[in-house]
């Protein structure tokens, strides 16, 4: 697949990006520094050019530090997105999107990444205690100073996109989106297409559920937080397993994995610029990167679309 532009910035990215939350090891299990560094390198070797991280990805910014270590020598070959506005307090997430905080967190991210610019810098989430226009003003200043090349917002609703964009040029929005959670198609996606705002979606595999490797009778390890989500329980779980049965048949016919099939479907949806694919081992990101290079027949695409429609959209855990 050809590169895609972020908004109207001229910045080009691959439609499969690496989401760098898992490599920090905060919420993912069985993460090692060796594997995290190797995964970043494998992603770049597989053709991925866009890497998405955040200050909060790691209690001490570990994700950003790993990117700097693994890919610093390839800085001009890649684009980096990071985020500010949420930090850790006693291992709990806390919002702080005051202008002075946004600036300080951006400066910290630049230092940890070992770079002089961040290609795409997001407000990680609106801060209820700070007027959004004030936060947007800080992003505008960073943009004007050249510390960041473009601006995005994450976990925002359409009215918030509108409010933010009145103060600062908005080039990207980052909501959750996958075969199971398609609510952005109603309002969020049309607004972004109308205003030339790229959708850089996360959770395309819904935390591994749509990779098709969790059997119906799968037993989660006690420390695996996914089992607390409604998507991984009861009727929602069973309906998704029915969908996966169909995807498994199409994937076998197309000689691809289920994960590749799902990622390909996601990045082929109108208005989607890139899908952020998390990974903590090299083979995982190599597999999903290959989704950029597969092709499906019209019949296969129709069968997938029908199965997705029959499954139906489900409960969101993030705003759209």
Q: Just list the catalytic residues.
A: 57
Q: Read off the DSSP letter of residue 265.
A: H
User: What's the burial of 47, exposed, middle or buried (CB within 10 Å: 0-12/13-18/19+)?
Assistant: middle
Q: Read off the DSSP letter of residue 85.
A: S
198 membership: H or E segment, kind and range: strand 198-201
> Residue 112 in contact with residue 61, Cβ under 8 Å?
yes
172 membership: H or E segment, kind and range: strand 172-174
Instruction: Kindly report the backbone phi and psi dihedral angles of residue 269, in degrees, each rounded to the nearest multiple of 5, phi listed first.
Output: -75, 135
The whole-angstrom separation of Cα 303 and Cα 221 is 34
The whole-angstrom separation of Cα 183 and Cα 178 is 9
- β-strands 120-123, 79-84 pairing: parallel
């Amino acid at each position: 697949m050809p590169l895609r532009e972020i908004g109207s910035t001229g910045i080009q990215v691959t439609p499969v990006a690496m989401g760098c939350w898992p490599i920090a090891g905060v919420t993912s299990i069985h993460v090692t520094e060796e594997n995290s560094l190797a995964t970043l390198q494998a992603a770049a070797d597989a053709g991925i050019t866009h890497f998405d991280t955040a200050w909060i990805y790691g209690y001490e910014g570990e994700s950003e530090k790993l990117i700097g270590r693994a890919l610093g020598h390839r800085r001009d070959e890649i684009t980096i997105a990071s985020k500010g506005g949420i930090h850790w307090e006693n291992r709990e997430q806390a919002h702080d999107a005051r202008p002075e905080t946004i600036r300080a967190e951006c400066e910290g991210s630049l230092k940890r990444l070992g770079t002089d610019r961040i290609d795409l810098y997001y407000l990680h989430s609106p801060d209820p205690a700070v007027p959004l226009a004030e936060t947007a003003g800080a992003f505008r200043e960073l943009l004007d100073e050249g510390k960041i090349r473009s601006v995005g917002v994450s976990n925002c609703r359409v009215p918030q996109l509108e409010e933010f964009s009145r103060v600062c040029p908005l080039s990207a929005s980052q909501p959750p989106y996958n075969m199971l959670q398609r609510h952005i198609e109603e309002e969020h996606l049309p607004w972004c297409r109308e205003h030339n705002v790229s959708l850089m979606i996360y959770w395309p595999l819904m935390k591994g559920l749509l990779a098709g490797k969790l059997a119906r009778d799968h037993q989660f390890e006690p420390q695996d937080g996914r089992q607390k989500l409604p998507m991984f329980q009861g009727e929602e779980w069973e309906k998704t397993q029915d969908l996966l049965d169909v995807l498994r048949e199409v994937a076998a016919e197309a000689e691809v994995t289920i994960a590749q099939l799902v990622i390909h479907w996601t990045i082929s949806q109108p208005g989607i610029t890139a899908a952020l694919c998390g990974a903590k081992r090299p083979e995982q990101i190599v597999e999903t990167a290959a989704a950029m290079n597969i092709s499906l027949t019209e019949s296969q695409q129709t069968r997938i679309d029908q199965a997705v429609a029959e499954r139906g959209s489900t409960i969101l855990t993030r705003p759209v």
